[in-house]
């Protein structure tokens, strides 16, 4: 009976993921078919893609560095390069509906190198939720400085903060982690390490810096297409909100479809004064799709380089 329910849940997740992605593809196809975009296509300067790639890489290095600090704080002494290798490879796991595979990959890659599986899973989960919470908090902080419909966003930002903010409060997270891990631990197993409030505070600051670099990634992509109307603060807020919302839409693999739809709506409103409604909406689709494509290429490239780097080429 349990196996049947698991299969049904798996089918439901994949079905919902296909529906979400399909709906967004249909919506984007209609916008891209507008003749206004192709009558005056945007110029493209590929040199700016260096900044798009660099911003993405720096963001994930910062977030991977936070996971490293959490592992160090819980007593793990494995080499930093091994931790970062597992971190970058695991990013491909988020493209499976539910996104839990990313955590599983980290545990599998790092458990044979001095890190207890339960510690790897707990710290990886905490790092992920802290990064998402920082994105929601940064969105709330930046919103007053960005020209957007604040009244329509406040309740959405509040919902994001509640969904990813409450679980990372140390008292809450430590209890949840203990209850989740207890059935799998033997009586002789060492106690599960507890995360302190300092880990949350420093993590939010560190993760916020990473979000700014993701904002830089979007900003440089806009420059590649010849658009200079958005500030770094605006790009950071747009990226953070759409990314966190896509993450919380668990059936969507890697937030695919949800992230692009939200980013396209933000950008379309920003392009309205200079490009008009029709061309602005279509151009926003081009940016959202190109950003997803280039970030995915960067992720696959980083994961490939990490896997090509042998685990045993250095000594601890």
248 or 38, greater pLDDT: 248
Mean pLDDT, residues 42-52 taken together: 88
pLDDT > 70 fraction of the chain, expressed in percent and rounded: 77
pLDDT single digits (tens) 121-155? 889 999 998 999 999 989 888 887 776 554 566 66
Query: Residue 279 pLDDT > 60, yes or no?
Result: yes
Lowest mean pLDDT among 15-24, 82-91, 163-172, 218-227: 15-24
pLDDT band (50, 70, 90) for residue 65: very high
Kindly tell me the number of DSSP H helices and DSSP E strands found in the chain: 12, 0
Query: Residue 118 pLDDT > 50, yes or no?
Result: yes
Q: What does pTM read for this prediction? A: 0.84
pLDDT > 90 fraction of the chain, expressed in percent and rounded: 28
37 or 230, greater pLDDT: 230
pLDDT band (50, 70, 90) for residue 17: very low
**Burial class (CB within 10 angstroms; exposed 0-12, middle 13-18, buried 19+) of 140:** middle
Which pLDDT score, from 0 to 100, does residue 49 have?
94
Query: Residue 32 pLDDT > 70, yes or no?
Result: no
Which pLDDT score, from 0 to 100, does residue 35 have?
56
Mean pLDDT, residues 252-267 taken together: 82
Which pLDDT score, from 0 to 100, does residue 306 have?
86
Query: Residue 10 pLDDT > 90, yes or no?
Result: no
CA atoms within 13 Å, Cβ hemisphere of 118: 18
Helical (H) or strand (E) element with 293: helix 277-308
pLDDT band (50, 70, 90) for residue 8: low
Query: Residue 311 pLDDT > 60, yes or no?
Result: no
Nearest C-alpha neighbor of 192 from the set 201, 184, 204, 203: 184
Query: Residue 185 pLDDT > 70, yes or no?
Result: no
d(CA 33, CA 214): 29
Query: Residue 179 pLDDT > 80, yes or no?
Result: no
Which pLDDT score, from 0 to 100, does residue 14 have?
47
**Are the C-beta atoms of 302 and 88 separated by less than 8 Å?**
yes
Return the sign of the alpha-carbon dihedral for residues 159, 164, 166, 167.
positive
Terminal Cα distance for the chain, rounded? 47
d(CA 33, CA 11): 33
Rg (CA), the chain: 20
**Burial class (CB within 10 angstroms; exposed 0-12, middle 13-18, buried 19+) of 226:** exposed
**Are the C-beta atoms of 246 and 252 separated by less than 8 Å?**
yes
Mean pLDDT, residues 35-40 taken together: 56
277 or 251, greater pLDDT: 277
Average pLDDT, the chain: 80
pLDDT single digits (tens) 229-250? 899 999 999 999 999 988 887 6
d(CA 208, CA 214): 10
Which pLDDT score, from 0 to 100, does residue 310 have?
72
């Amino acid at each position: 009976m349990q196996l049947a329910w698991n299969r049904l849940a798996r089918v439901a997740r994949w079905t919902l993921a296909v529906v979400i992605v399909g709906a967004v593809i249909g919506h984007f196809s209609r916008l891209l078919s507008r003749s206004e975009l192709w009558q005056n296509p945007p110029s493209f300067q590929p040199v700016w893609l260096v900044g798009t790639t660099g911003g993405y890489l720096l963001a994930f290095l910062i977030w991977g560095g936070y996971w490293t600090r959490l592992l160090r704080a819980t007593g793990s002494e494995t080499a930093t390069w091994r931790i970062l290798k597992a971190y970058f490879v695991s990013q491909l796991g988020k493209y499976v509906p539910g996104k839990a595979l990313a955590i599983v990959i980290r545990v599998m890659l790092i458990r044979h190198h001095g890190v207890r599986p339960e510690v790897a899973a707990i710290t990886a989960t905490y790092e992920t939720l802290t990064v998402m919470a920082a994105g929601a908090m940064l969105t709330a902080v930046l919103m007053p400085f960005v020209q957007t419909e604040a009244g329509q966003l406040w309740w959405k930002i509040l919902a994001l903060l509640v969904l990813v903010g409450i679980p990372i409060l140390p008292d809450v997270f430590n209890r949840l982690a203990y209850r989740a891990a207890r059935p799998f631990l033997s009586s002789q197993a060492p106690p599960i390490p507890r995360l302190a409030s300092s880990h949350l505070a420093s993590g939010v600051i560190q993760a916020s810096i990473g979000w700014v670099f993701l904002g830089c990634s979007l900003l440089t992509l806009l420059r590649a297409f010849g658009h200079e109307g958005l500030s770094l603060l605006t790009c950071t807020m747009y990226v953070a909100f759409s990314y966190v919302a896509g993450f919380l839409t668990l059936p969507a693999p890697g937030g695919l479809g949800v992230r692009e739809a939200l980013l396209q709506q933000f950008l379309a409103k920003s392009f309205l004064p200079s490009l008009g409604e029709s061309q602005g909406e279509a151009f926003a689709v081009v940016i959202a799709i190109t950003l997803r494509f280039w970030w995915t290429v960067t992720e696959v490239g980083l994961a490939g380089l990490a896997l090509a780097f042998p685990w045993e080429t250095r000594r601890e």
